[in-house]
């Protein structure tokens, strides 16, 4: 792989095999023992022949309708899911997925969540300790550091997650509908700028959004995914044009 590529997908297919009457219990399996043929398998091709190279430092958009395979693609990049045999994914650097409301354990305090997230992304405790005050201050939750996150308001939760991401220092961010509506006016102003400076600039971003404005603002290249296939990849304007035409 070339040095300037951050994420490379080659011939990635993903087939979900779903048993229509899913036998998730021993009882059901025993009952059907010997009648194997009757359990009907359903194959769903969620992704077909995906080939994408995403370069270091670029912001790359992924657009498509609901159910087109965007989330599956993200899960494959995160290596939460395995592609079908033959597919190849190579990623360089640390990857972090940002989706508001995900990534924090509601039963832990903000302090613990910051440490868990930070250490998994690869920061040493010393480093987290140094950044800790800044993270808390940025999120504006100084008085609730040792309160379990489940007692937080929705806005506070979002600000915490955002703040962790800002300082987490991953190389590649997967932004899963992460834009817009974060906190109140003040925080929004502050976060938009911080977001631009700390996350977008100089990092590799893969942006998934239904908002064409967001994609247009941040990305130069994008891919349109439809029914698991790459419909169009290339300059962001061209891709959006096709997407809009199809919607109408």
Please identify, among the stretches 59-67, 106-114, 177-185, 210-218, the one whose residues bind another protein according to the rule CB under 8 A.
Answer: 106-114
Q: x/- site string to another protein, residues 7 to 26, per CB under 8 A?
A: ---------x-------xxx
d(CA 47, CA 13): 5
- Which residues within the stretch 125-184 sit at the binding site for another protein (CB under 8 A)? 125, 148, 170
Cross-strand pairs, 8: 53, 90
Q: Which of 104, 175, 223, 236 binds another protein (CB under 8 A)?
A: 104
Measured in Å, how far apart are the chain's first and last C-alpha atoms?
Answer: 39
**Least Cβ distance, residue 82 to another protein (angstroms):** 4
**Least Cβ distance, residue 232 to another protein (angstroms):** 28
Residue 96 as a binder of another protein (CB under 8 A): the answer is: yes
Report which DSSP code applies to 148: B
Radius of gyration of the chain from its Cα atoms, rounded to whole angstroms: 21
Which residues of the chain form beta strands (DSSP E)? 5-19, 41-55, 59-63, 88-91, 95-98, 172-176, 204-208, 221-226, 229-235
Residue 120 as a binder of another protein (CB under 8 A): the answer is: yes
Report which DSSP code applies to 241: H
Residue 105 as a binder of another protein (CB under 8 A): the answer is: yes
Residue 115 as a binder of another protein (CB under 8 A): the answer is: yes
**Least Cβ distance, residue 125 to another protein (angstroms):** 6
Residue 29 as a binder of another protein (CB under 8 A): the answer is: yes
- Which residues within the stretch 34-53 sit at the binding site for another protein (CB under 8 A)? none
- The answer to whether the beta carbons of residues 11 and 49 sit under 8 Å apart is yes
Give the containing element (helix H, strand E) for 109.
Answer: none
**Least Cβ distance, residue 235 to another protein (angstroms):** 30
d(CA 190, CA 11): 41
Q: Site residues (CB under 8 A) for another protein?
A: 16, 24-27, 29, 75, 78-82, 91, 94-99, 102-105, 107-108, 112, 115-117, 119-122, 124-125, 148, 170
């Amino acid at each position: 792989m070339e040095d300037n590529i951050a994420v490379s997908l080659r011939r990635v297919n993903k087939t979900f095999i779903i048993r229509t009457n899913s036998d998730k219990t021993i009882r059901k399996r025993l009952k059907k023992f010997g009648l194997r043929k009757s359990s009907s398998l359903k194959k769903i091709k969620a992704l077909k022949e995906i080939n994408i190279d995403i370069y270091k430092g670029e912001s790359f958009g992924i657009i498509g309708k609901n159910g087109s395979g965007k989330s599956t693609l993200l899960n494959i990049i995160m290596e939460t899911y395995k592609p079908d045999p033959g597919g190849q994914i190579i990623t360089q650097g640390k990857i972090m997925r940002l989706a508001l409301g995900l990534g924090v354990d509601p039963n832990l305090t903000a302090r613990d969540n910051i440490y868990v997230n930070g250490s998994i992304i690869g920061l040493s405790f010393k480093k987290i300790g140094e950044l800790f005050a800044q993270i808390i201050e940025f999120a504006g939750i100084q008085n609730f550091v040792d309160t379990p996150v489940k007692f937080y308001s929705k806005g506070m939760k979002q600000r915490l997650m955002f703040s962790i991401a800002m300082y987490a220092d991953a190389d590649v961010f997967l932004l899963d509908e992460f834009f817009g509506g974060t906190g109140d006016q003040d925080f929004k102003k502050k976060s938009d700028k911080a977001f631009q400076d700390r996350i977008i600039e100089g990092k590799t971003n893969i942006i998934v959004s239904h908002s064409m404005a967001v994609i247009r603002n941040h990305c130069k290249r994008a891919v349109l995914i439809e029914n698991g296939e790459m419909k169009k990849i290339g300059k962001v304007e061209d891709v959006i044009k096709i997407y809009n035409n199809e919607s109408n």
